Structure 1
Amino acid sequence: MSHSAASATAPQWWQPQTMALDECWHFTIGPVTLYFKRCLQEWVFGFERSTQPEQAYRVLSQSAACLPEALNMQRFMFRHSPGQFKLTPHLLERAVVIKTHQPVSIPAGEQSVFYISSPVSIEISLQEPSVVLMELPLQRLSDTWFGDSTQQGELCFADKTHARHSLDDIPTRPHRAVTAVTIENRSDRMLTIDKLSIPLPFLALYGHRDGSLWTDPLLLQHESVGQLTRFKIGKTLPLGLTSADLLAPPRQHHDKNSLVRAFTGIFSQ
């Protein structure tokens, strides 16, 4: 195994990893453990999901004596097996409707920043030559419909959040990406929020050197009842990140109508 993959902890787990022939390895990212074995003409792959509480989630990379027999393994055949694998995080392919544990209110003329996290999926690929094997969500979310009616809206994922207000309160969770959401209440009334739709397909994903994942920031400007919320993707990345830290570009390029659909109806007064 390469030196970069030989350590027990791997903060930047999205870096390519080299494996020798007939070597077995397991790689834990949050709630999912991946198992790999490289043979002369095949790669064998399997995974299992953890039942541990979220506080125990971490990143762990280490050698395995053999692959667990109870797992459903998949075999990928080659004339000569590539020598590296790579795990690339991606934001989910749908927006996530996130319900806050408690309603949040912003007085007239005020603004606030919330840090909202959402789970990522990982693209599993081999390198030299590059071939994508599959994409695997690290956490299962339920489906929900988000919109004004059954005819107008979109199918989304559903999740819950504490809507943290301070960077210091954000727990280290390697399987989730953090979105900084700035909400400006430009109306003359109290603004109460109990859910947010985060348009993940329109956001890029970045990796920090400490192993944390971040998306493009969002700005929501609420004018008044009955008016559509203004939406902007921020151009200033979170502290410590540059464009060189880009891990995955947006899945979709947004237009005005798609952004309106993503955010209509998220506010109540």
Structure 2
Amino acid sequence: MDIETESRRDGVWAQPYELVTGQTQHHKLGHVRLWVTLLEKEWQVRTETREPETDPVGWTESIDHRLPPASESLKRFVREGSTSTVTFIPAVANLPTVIRPYHPLTIPGGMRCTIYVGTVVWMKICVGQNQTLLTEVPLAVPSLTWVGRNTMEGELCYASPNFGRLVLEAVPKRAWRAVTPVTIINRRTEPLLLERFSLPTPLLSLHQNDRGELWTPGVVVEVATDMNSASLHVDEGLLVAAGPCKKVAPAREKAAKGRLVRAIDRVFG
């Protein structure tokens, strides 16, 4: 990755950073500003979320002895021994994420399509060789929505601020977003109107390529002749377009073996 200046560098996932007592590491990525301070007996974490007028692109970090600005978001954690390394691990959302196409899309009977989605990840702040978790920070303010038949039957999900795209190149690549290909197969004879769908984010692992992009395995959703249910499974591999990748984070939840059959209104809302 390119170095912007002598003091400010590009941030890197899953790389230990060494701090000395009194130093603060400052990160700028997405809508988030993050400060991690090492003191003699504690770690301090401060965050600030902004709403910029334009979509930010880069992730930079710097280390110095300047104290961060006063913030109500201060969190303090006991420092164990002489622990002095901090590592930032990406994590998928802990709830399913509702994705919408740019405009409602109809999949004719017997056809399939692949939609590419970018979902915002969380940042886990870990310290020491064992990567002890201090806290985790969403890299965008998550909004909640409900997916289900009614207010009694369904589940709480995050609503993605980004649209699903039919063309991979149209998905903005950011260090704090993971790209997931979703293939929807319509086995019915009738057309399927796709207005939104629920991506099982907690079942997805995270992988990083040499361009610094985050990818997850693909998800396949199959709607059979029975309109009341849809089957879903997570691919074992990654899309070829991702290129060589290394795994940087496991899935939050372990997927059941075989296909997951879900009520249709839990998938397409």
Q: Specify the TM-score bucket, using the shorter chain as the normaliser.
A: 0.7 to 0.9
Aligned twin of 1:70: 70
Structural RMSD (CA): 2.7
- TM-score, L = length of structure 2: 0.86
Cα distance in 2 for partners of 1:191, 1:207 equals 33
Match in the other structure for 1:27:
27
Once the two structures are TM-superposed, the CA of residue 133 in structure 1 deviates from its matched residue by 0.8
2: CA distance between counterparts of 1:262 and 1:39?
51
Residue type of the alignment partner of 1:189: E
Deviation, 1:145, is 1.8
In the alignment, what sits opposite 1:118?
A: 119
Aligned runs of 1:172-251 on 2, under 5 Å?
A: 172-224=173-225, 226-239=227-240, 240=242, 245-251=246-252
| Secondary structure, aligned partner of 2:10 | coil
- Paired letter, 2:124: E
1:162 partner SS: strand
Listed as ranges, the matches of 1:12-23 within 5 Å are: 12-23=12-23
Please give the alpha-carbon distance, in whole angstroms, between the structure 2 residues aligned to 1:267 and 1:134: 32
Instruction: Please identify, of 30-39 and 75-84, the stretch whose mean Cα deviation from structure 2 is larger.
Output: 75-84
Q: Judging by fraction of residues, say which structure has more helix.
A: 1
Structure 2 residue 116 is the aligned partner of structure 1 residue 137: no
CA distance in 2, matches of 1:241, 1:19: 33
The alpha-carbon deviation at position 150 of structure 1 amounts to 2.6
**In 2, Cα distance between the equivalents of 1:199 and 1:107?**
24
- Give the alignment of 1:162-181 within 5 angstroms: 162-181=163-182
Residue 84 of structure 1 deviates from its aligned partner by 0.6
Distance 1:24 1:53, change over 3 A: same
Q: What is the Cα deviation at residue 159 of structure 1?
A: 2.2
Alignment TM-score, normalising by the size of structure 1: 0.86
Q: For 1:212 and 1:259, locate their aligned partners in 2 and report how far apart those are by CA, in whole Å.
A: 28
Unaligned runs of 5+ in 1: none
Counterpart check, 1:82 vs 2:105 = no
Give how far 1:91 is off. Answer: 0.6
CA distance in structure 1 between the partners assigned to 2:234 and 2:54 by the alignment: 30
**Could you tell me how far 1:194 is from its partner in structure 2?**
0.5
User: 1:257: Cα distance to partner?
Assistant: 11
Change (3 A) 1:34 1:262: farther
Structure 1 window deviating more from structure 2 (22-31 vs 252-261): it is 252-261
Q: Judge conservation of contact 2:11–2:27 (CA < 8 Å) in 1.
A: no
Cα pair distance change 1:45/1:265, threshold 3 Å: closer
* Partner amino acid, structure 2, of 1:124: I
Which shows bigger deviation, 84-93 or 56-65? 56-65
Q: Offset of 1:118 from its aligned partner?
A: 1.4
Q: How big is each residue's C-alpha offset from its partner over 1:57-110, in whole Å with a ceiling of 9 and x where there is no partner?
A: 420011345233332333333364412101111111111122333101122222
Question: Which residue pairs with 2:37 in the alignment?
Answer: 37
Partner-residue secondary structure (3-state), 1:55:
coil
Counterparts in 2 of 1:221 and 1:68: CA distance versus 1, 3 Å: same
Q: Which residue of 2 aligns with 1:253?
A: 254
Measure, in 1, the Cα distance between the counterparts of 2:253 and 2:263.
Answer: 13
1:144 & 1:207 partners in 2: Cα distance?
Answer: 29
1:46 corresponds in structure 2 to: 46
- 2:122, 2:131 → 1: CA distance? 19
Give the Cα–Cα distance (whole angstroms) in 1 for the partners of residues 109 and 144 of structure 2: 33
Instruction: Tell whether the 8 Å contact from 1:11 to 1:209 is kept in structure 2 after alignment.
Output: no
The answer (yes or no) to whether the contact 1:90–1:123 under 8 Å persists in 2 is yes
Distance 1:187 1:79, change over 3 A: closer
Secondary structure of 2:169's counterpart equals helix
